Amino acid sequence: MKFSRFLFVFILGLTAALPLLAQNQGYPQPQLPFSPSGSPLFGQDIVIDDLPDQNQQMVTIRAAFNGWFYALLTYAENTQPRYRVLRSTDHGNSWATVFTAEVWLNHTGISKADLLITGQTDQTIKIFTGIIFHDSIMHNAPAIICRWDGNTGEWEEELLKEYSTEIHDLAFADDGLYPATNSNPSSMAYIYSKKKDYFTDSIYYCVSTDGGLTFGPKRGFAGSAQFIHKVALAYGRSASWPSGRYFAVWEEQASAATPAGHLYTAHTEPGISSPFTLPVLLDGIASGTDNLLRNPAIACQLSASDNDSGNITQVIVCEKKNPVVEKWDITGFCNRKGVSTPQFYNFNPDPTPHNKLQPAIGFNPFDSTFMMTYFDTTGQKLPYLTKNFNMNDPDMWNVLSPGYNDNGELNRPCPGVILDPEKHTGANAWIGRRSNGNGVALFDAPFHYYTGTDNGGFFGMGSNLKLYPNPVSTTLNIQFESGVARGTAFKLYNGQGRLIMTLPEKIYPPGMQRLQIDLSDDPPGVYTLNCRNAGSSKSYKIVKTR
């Protein structure tokens, strides 16, 4: 660490050096360094498509390689189901429509919509949409997967057309950040569950090794006499396993009306185009979970290094029914040797007695953490948690926000989390509710917290706090005018909520001050500067670049 990590200067004629900020050593317990009312890592909710008369029902976001966000949302217009894809080129601050598609089948609604973005240049971005319809008259569920031009929104090709059967669920995944060794330039895959015949449900898998331009044959890899309801898919890769694998998880229920069931997982082996391994029954691992699980989500480590077990970490989260008190909880299963062993550990990331639903999980290769969100129905909150990919002490997750949503009017938000490859942190989208009862697609991210000037009087009369430059590569300036002499303390946290620097409380005299923070040796990412005085606290987001 450099000698003058923090330097304090009285601009009005006085110059003095502040005490050196101590660099925290070791790894403190997970903590929430923010006020209980909300996290400073998240700002005001952003409306993706502001149409108050439109009842928006589902939203999914994905990021392109360059940090552009794409959002797929569904809605009904004059009782006719439609879906729209929007794009944000400024990290979710503003959105513009790329294309709108109508559902052409009569008596039809949309029961599932998924989205994937591929491409390694601005000109080659492709959009993939997967839509499952529901025909209320024929009682079937056709599905379609299409490819669209990511810039013009023009339709290009129909990749899957299942019109004559009942599709239960579908899911996408890709290897864009760390391509498998046999993909060029990258691969993508999809799975879907369907009613094969009167007695059997099946899951099918299809992979493309050229970014979705051509696909191999569809292959069935799991079948059951039970109802295969939900499916999820993720890509995993590490230094020792550069050929990559696609990891699947699915839910089997006795019938469509059964509230919960079994969870199974399997992965392609030894590569992305290979057959799947034998399924592993997850709820057979932990007591109290047998036949009580549903709605799984999956994420896998994807990086240029191994975890501390020399392998790939696989994490699955789901809903677990508590039959005693008739509520749902979030539980999870992690495997630190996801490629080579079926050894899973059961964990519970949130010990509160609240009712919790709709988990979602992703992986951040820039800081090697898993990112999780879910719906706390009791508190009407959407928490945001992270955990290091080694998954040591898997029950202990870092709570970056107990609830990033501003509006507590939530019914079925189905929150999602996705990586921003430029900001190196997660982003979230969900469905909120307007005052007129209509659903509205919302967006927020840890880096959206206000970072400009504080004119609210935090430092007393004449307060004017500025952070510049931001984003910053080496030295950050914190300038403020203190109207009255008062004690103030500064603390700096990294993106996982870990305290990395602190300046104990000091009385600053009236006048203009400037604090300089040397960040040249710190890795890129999102940091939070917390300022406290006289019982008040404010926090500001800092983006560190290379």
Q: 342, 375, 403 — which closes off a domain?
A: 403
In whole angstroms, give the CA distance from residue 170 to residue 467. 45
Task: Encode 272-340 in three state secondary structure.
Answer: CCCCECCCEECCCCCCCCCCCEEEEEEEECECCCCCCCCCCCEEEEEEEEECCCCEEEEEEEEECCCCC
Give me the mean pLDDT over the 34-42 stretch. 45
Shared domain check, 382 and 297: yes
Residue 172 belongs to some domain of the structure: no
Shared domain check, 390 and 420: no
Long-range contacts of 148-155 (CB under 8 A, 24+ apart): 148/85, 148/98, 148/99, 149/125, 150/64, 150/70, 150/98, 150/117, 150/119, 150/124, 150/125, 150/126, 151/122, 151/123, 151/125, 153/85, 153/97, 153/98, 153/99, 153/127, 154/99, 155/99
Q: What percent of the chain has pLDDT over 70?
A: 85
Q: What is the pLDDT of residue 35?
A: 30
- C-alpha distances in Å from residue 211, one per residue of 158, 173, 188: 15, 11, 6
What is the per-residue pLDDT across 69-115, written as a single tens digit (0 to 9) for each?
999 999 988 778 899 999 999 899 889 999 999 876 666 789 999 99
Shared domain check, 96 and 10: no
What is the per-residue pLDDT across 493-504, written as a single tens digit (0 to 9) for each?
887 677 888 877
In whole angstroms, give the CA distance from residue 461 to residue 456. 9
Shared domain check, 278 and 394: yes
CB-CB contact of 370 with 361 (8 Å):
yes
Residue 171 belongs to some domain of the structure: no
Q: How far is CA 87 from the centre of its chain?
A: 17
Give me the mean pLDDT over the 310-336 stretch. 95
pLDDT of 59 above 80:
yes
Shared domain check, 219 and 303: yes
Shared domain check, 301 and 209: yes
- Rg over alpha carbons for the chain, rounded to the nearest Å, is 24
Q: What is the pLDDT of residue 535?
A: 53
What is the per-residue pLDDT across 445-479, written as a single tens digit (0 to 9) for each?
987 654 333 444 444 433 456 777 877 888 888 87
Q: What is the DSSP string of 170-195?
A: EEEEE-SSS--TT-SS--EEEEEEEE
Shared domain check, 333 and 206: yes
pLDDT of 238 above 50:
yes
pLDDT of 402 above 70:
yes
Shared domain check, 125 and 21: no
User: Higher confidence at residue 544 or residue 212?
Assistant: 212
Residues 6+ apart with CB under 8 A from 257: none
| Out of 96-110, 215-229, 265-279, 370-384, least confident range | 96-110
Residue 175 belongs to some domain of the structure: no
**Which amino acid appears at position 449 of this protein?**
Y
Give the HSE-up count for residue 258: Cα atoms under 13 Å, Cβ half-sphere: 18
Q: What is the pLDDT confidence band of residue 483, given thresholds at 50, 70 and 90? A: low
Structure tokens at 280: 């592993």
Give me the mean pLDDT over the 161-168 stretch. 87
- How many structural domains does the chain have? 3
Q: What is the pLDDT of residue 486?
A: 67
Give me the mean pLDDT over the 345-374 stretch. 96
Query: Given CA atoms 393, 399, 405, 410 in this order, what sign does their dihedral have?
Result: positive
Q: What is the mean pLDDT of the chain?
A: 85
Three-class DSSP category at 133:
strand
Q: Which of 419, 418, 399 is nearest to 41 (CA)?
A: 399
pLDDT of 1 above 60:
no
Task: Encode 347-412 in three state secondary structure.
Answer: ECCCCCCCCEEEEEEEEECCCCEEEEEEEECCCCECCEEEEECCCCCCCCCEEEECCCCCCCCCCC
Q: What is the pLDDT of residue 14?
A: 32
CB atoms within 10 A of CB 407: 13
User: Higher confidence at residue 39 or residue 257?
Assistant: 257
Shared domain check, 231 and 359: yes
Structure tokens at 471: 């984003």
CB-CB contact of 220 with 203 (8 Å):
yes
Q: What percent of the chain has pLDDT over 90?
A: 60
Q: What is the pLDDT of residue 536?
A: 60
Q: What is the pLDDT confidence band of residue 7, given thresholds at 50, 70 and 90? A: very low
Residue 306: give the domain boundaries: 182-403
Residues 6+ apart with CB under 8 A from 288: none
Residue 290 belongs to some domain of the structure: yes
Give me the mean pLDDT over the 276-285 stretch. 94
Cα dihedral 177/181/187/192 (nearest 10): -110
Edge-first strand order for the sheet with 511-518 is 6-10, 511-518, 475-482, 466-468
Residue 195 belongs to some domain of the structure: yes
Give me the mean pLDDT over the 135-153 stretch. 87
pLDDT of 8 above 60:
no
Shared domain check, 386 and 254: yes
Residue 170 belongs to some domain of the structure: no
CB-CB contact of 371 with 387 (8 Å):
no
Give me the mean pLDDT over the 404-412 stretch. 91
Residue 350 belongs to some domain of the structure: yes
pLDDT of 203 above 90:
yes
Q: What is the pLDDT of residue 414?
A: 97
pLDDT of 235 above 90:
yes
Structure tokens at 221: 């890899």
pLDDT of 534 above 80:
no
Q: What is the pLDDT confidence band of residue 4, given thresholds at 50, 70 and 90? A: very low
User: Higher confidence at residue 481 or residue 535?
Assistant: 481
- The answer to whether the predicted template modeling score (pTM) of the entire model surpasses 0.85 is no
What is the per-residue pLDDT across 290-321, written as a single tens digit (0 to 9) for each?
999 999 999 999 999 999 999 999 999 999 99
Diameter over CA atoms, the chain: 85
CB-CB contact of 84 with 100 (8 Å):
yes
**Domain containing residue 359: CATH number:** 2.120.10.10
**Domain containing residue 484: CATH number:** 2.60.40.2550
Residue 257 belongs to some domain of the structure: yes
Q: 387, 403, 419 — which closes off a domain?
A: 403
Q: What is the pLDDT of residue 271?
A: 97
Q: What is the DSSP string of 196-217?
A: -SSS-EEEEEEEESSTTSS---
Shared domain check, 522 and 476: yes
Shared domain check, 159 and 72: yes
